Structure 1
């Protein structure tokens, strides 16, 4: 038998085949059908089914090594007849369970050099690259698959996002458009285009583009459903439409799986962005933080952990102090694969975010400035990491560092001339500085947008 990508597989039954194909389509296309493999694995004896079930558990971002993933790995090892490619997938799962991510990447590269059509292997490699700020590697690894998978819509979506994270926007848009020509509903390509349009200041186009696709997103997994709505909310914030963005938070971004890591981080990010523009968000920090309490020891992914931390501290939860202590411990744990990320960047970021959440604004910049140039090391997209610059900017404005703030605001305006939060901040800053003509220019730009 073959899977939907044309790779030879050792499944023997129609039910196992469906589960394998649902995992592939669900993983590559962020489709809810991905969970089929878990139900099938309850009775299946096939090794590949258990490999994919184990990988799905590893992708669930629980903050630890899920016991279910261990169990599926054991069942896959006990199965007979795995082919060579499937054995490398099992090796990938085994190494991941051991937290040997260097071994995982090497195994995946070996696999892709022989079976370049295995886009599951490509996606896992890109997942780890993205989480660790290896954006050029995200792009390089697609080269192994290009000749075999250029006509696959999911491949072009992955390639588009890799180009975008490397700031190669022309190439990124070309790949995204290729993906959408193959399938207009390819959500990862839509996501890449949303990034491109935001970064290039194509705000009205971005709103229009995403609005045309919202009806398709109901089939998506919680992460991409909420994340695409998150992107749409950012466009609305830029247009000064904060009530629309707040409604998106309530109705979409914080309305699916409130226990999932990515949904939690996106919710924290959007609430903070809204608050930074002056929106009264009511008791939403308290509501959100209740779901962050179980994350009080989770330091597995620095980018996500920093969001948990801010949400907990902003809601004045004692678990925020527990998590901050855990972060300090992770930065000191030299044997951990995450030690460098926490020690070199993440720990200082955590202290800066804690200072901001606790309204100790004078302490933010001394903590943040030394690491601002290396924030990419902790993962997250550049659009997501922009939140840290916004926190720094807010601290500057609150502590009277107007010269620094003006430099950043005018630089941001080069890309998005009529961004409402930027021009509001500039109007106030110039007025405080006695530069009334420049303040009026900023207000005039606001009138053009609002």
Structure 2
């Protein structure tokens, strides 16, 4: 008897009708970042324990969150999928997932790249590869992985909205803002729950310092991207950045205390947003009260997880803000162990960017501003190598500029501020930073903003 096929025509080893329905629904939830896809795929596995792709999909769910506790679960899913057998496409999924579990990020991405070349309508391969491109900071592949398959997709196909949303984000990360915005808006028009499409347009507004338009974009239908969404915190973070650009710090704090922290920050990716937002507020002179302490408590169990340097960098920010020196040292030691780990991707993330970025933040926190300037200047043009988006890594440039001001290096501060204003001529934040740098360049004593 021939195996059942998914909506794109791919064979699914071991599937039953009930399992297929649950599998398809899980794919929709993942593409929109809504619901509880783990619970849904578990229903598929319960209905068909021998369904190879259900185990592969569950493995991806646990791998792509970069949660240390997710790794053992992902490994069990991979092993179970391997025992189920499968065709070449299914085996490639499991191999890519295994490579990611092993910390071989780029190899996993290449396996998925080849998989998409052969099976361009495999939406899971596209999305997993797209997320790996994000975590490795590969802007070109964020765009081109999707561009390669576009001719195979069209509006009637389930998941087409997600392909457009991914392409929009890739275009934005490559600086093609007009095309990115048009593509992202079309994605959302096709599927209002597509959180990644909303996110892509928000990134365009962020990179162009179009705060008012960004606020209008995200607030026109908050329910679409926030209700029952496990990606909501990141889009709330973007909304907070728009208000920060306008100087609405009370609104930023309200968003932090409500939508950002409201989920109790139990997920690493949400904790990253919380750290980045509080650090920005502190750079701009806002008293964040005891918020650092609560966030540091959340990060504490993960201080030495050592599975992704970008996470560790954000954990360190919380420990600096909370004044927890032992935890700061634990993160640095973990990064040093990672950096010494050989030729693998985890070691490269730490060695090339993660460790010097962490040392720079610690120097800044200790008032060693010249050291912070030196370290940040050394990595700012290679920072994509440890992942994240341009908007997330902007924290490096913001900290560098403030460190230059506090170090009394007026010419550098002025140069950095002018550079920023040239790239982002709109919005209030670049002009406020320029005013601060101008004071430093005139030899005025500029008080620490935080």
Same fold at TM > 0.5: yes
Does the 8 A contact of 2:60 with 2:97 survive in 1? Answer: yes
- Give yes or no for the alignment of 1:212 onto 2:220: yes
C-alpha distance in structure 1 between counterparts of 2:253 and 2:199, whole Å: 20
Deviation string, structure 1 residues 56-107 (Cα, Å, up to 9, x no partner): 1222322366222222222222225x34322322222233333333442333
Residue 204 of structure 1 and its aligned partner are, at CA, apart by: 1.0
2:288 aligned with 1:268: no
TM-score by length of 2: 0.89
| 1:313 partnered with 2:320 | yes
SS in 1 for 2:12: coil
In structure 2, what is the Cα distance between the partners aligned to 1:98 and 1:329?
A: 16
Q: Secondary structure of 1:66's match? A: helix
Which of the numbers 128, 135, 138 marks the counterpart of 1:134? 138
Q: Confirm or deny that 1:368 pairs with 2:376.
A: yes
Deviation at 1:303, TM superposition (A): 1.9
Q: How many residues align?
A: 434
The aligned counterpart of 2:448 is none
Match in the other structure for 1:37: 41
Q: Contact (CA 8 Å) 1:64, 1:300: kept in 2 or not?
A: no
- SS in structure 1 at match of 2:388: coil
- Contact map agreement 1:57 1:69 (CA 8 A) in 2: yes
**Which residue matches 1:23?**
26
CA positional deviation for 1:409: 2.0
Contact conserved, 1:61 with 1:260, CA < 8 A, in 2?
A: no
TM-score normalised per structure 1: 0.89
Give, in whole Å, the separation in 1 of the partners of 2:14 and 2:42. Answer: 15
CA apart distance, 1:237: 0.7
Distance 1:159 1:220 in 2: 24
Cα displacement string for residues 389-426 of structure 1 (whole angstroms, at most 9, x for unaligned residues): 11111111212222221222233234555633443344
Query: Aligned partners of 2:391, 2:109: CA distance in 1, in Å?
Result: 25
Q: Deviations over 1:308-362 (max 9, x none)?
A: 1111222122222111111112222224323233222222111001112233323
Unaligned runs of 5+ in 1: 437-450
- Matched residue of 2:289: which SS? coil
Asked if 1:279 is matched to 2:283, the reply is: no
- The verdict on how the C-alpha distance between 1:98 and 1:379 changes in structure 2, with shifts beyond 3 A counting, is closer
The residue that corresponds to 1:230 in the other structure is 237
Please state if 1:48 is matched with 2:53: yes
- Separation in 1 of the partners of 2:188 and 2:9? 21
8 A contact 1:11–1:17 mirrored in 2: no
Task: Identify if the C-alpha distance between structure 1 residues 226 and 5 changes in structure 2 by more than 3 Å, giving closer, same or farther.
Answer: farther
Higher mean alpha-carbon deviation, 339-348 vs 379-388, is at 339-348
- What is the distance in 1 between the residues matched to 2:430 and 2:91? 53
**2:106 pairs with 1:106:** no
- 1:185 to partner: Cα distance: 3.6
Measure how far apart 1:146 and its partner are.
1.0
| SS state at 2:5 partner | coil
- The RMSD of aligned alpha carbons is 2.3
TM-aligned CA distance change 1:271 to 1:12, over 3 Å:
same
CA distance in 2, matches of 1:170, 1:86: 37
